[in-house]
Amino acid sequence: MRRSKLEVVLKALRNRLATANLAVGDRLPPERALAQELSCSRETLRQALGVLEDENELWRHVGQGTFLGPRPVAAPRTETLRLRVTSADQLIRARLLIEPAIAAEAARRATPADMEKLRDCVAAGRRGVDRFVCQQADDEFHRMIADAARNPILSSVLDFLSDARRRSPWQTLWDRTYRRVGIEEFRTVHSDQHAELVSSIERHEPDRAEAAMRDHLTAIVAMLTGK
């Protein structure tokens, strides 16, 4: 029986940790580096890390990284608790406040390499074959914009919001919406909005990029609410 991508990555990650020169409490390499090393998406890597975290093999702290070994008794759990109680409305309001500003900063600081990655993300979204692939492409696209802003704090904020999207009522609403509108909505309208954002960032137009992100998120709200 063919193994799933998660199973393959999980096995590779276990081997990586078993042979790495790491002690309990040491920080693992950044997610981007690990994903490249294991030839997987950051979404799949996060799922594998989640399995190991459930097994008490490692623990994660939003904004600080992933650490080998069981979670220390005194390790903060505030982030997880907050993510569990975040409502869909709270999350979209936070995104509307934060992500347009991040898009504007990306327009100021993006490099040609960043633009190539963003264009690849848009192309991946247009090729999406199912709801999971489309959501993965969307998640990676928004993270790439934060990375293009060249500020690790902003990247950490986007990681936090991404985690919140998966753990809050947002995910339930998102899944229900995709079943209603179908993936064609993402491959066309949604991806067209992503392409407009990329165009604004590539032309280094912060105001336009900020407006494009706000329009994009507003369109998502309309899709989620059916208005």
Residue range 6-16: mean pLDDT, rounded: 91
Higher-confidence position of 172 and 59? 59
Chain mean pLDDT for the chain: 84
Is residue 58 within 8 Å of 49, Cβ to Cβ?
A: yes
- pTM for the structure as a whole: 0.66
SS3 state of residue 226: coil
DSSP 65: E
**Thinking of the domain 5-68, which architecture would CATH place it in?**
Orthogonal Bundle (1.10)
**Digit-coded pLDDT (tens) for 71-80:** 775 545 555 5
Please, which residues have CB within 8 angstroms of residue 175's CB and are 6 or more apart in sequence?
Answer: 131
Higher-confidence position of 179 and 2? 179
Higher-confidence position of 210 and 6? 210
The two tokens of residue 157 are 């904020």
* pLDDT number for residue 166: 66
| pLDDT at 99 > cutoff 90 | yes
The two tokens of residue 188 are 């066309």
Is residue 194 within 8 Å of 124, Cβ to Cβ?
A: no
Sign of the C-alpha dihedral computed for residues 32, 33, 34 and 38 taken in this order: positive
Is residue 144 within 8 Å of 121, Cβ to Cβ?
A: yes
Cα distances (angstroms) measured from residue 53 to each of 71, 73, 90, 125, 156: 9, 14, 27, 29, 19
pLDDT class of 43 with cuts at 50, 70, 90 = confident
User: Would you list the domain boundaries of the chain?
Assistant: 5-68, 79-225
CATH homologous superfamily, domain 79-225: GntR ligand-binding domain-like (1.20.120.530)
* pLDDT number for residue 39: 92
- In DSSP terms, 65 is beta-bridged to 61
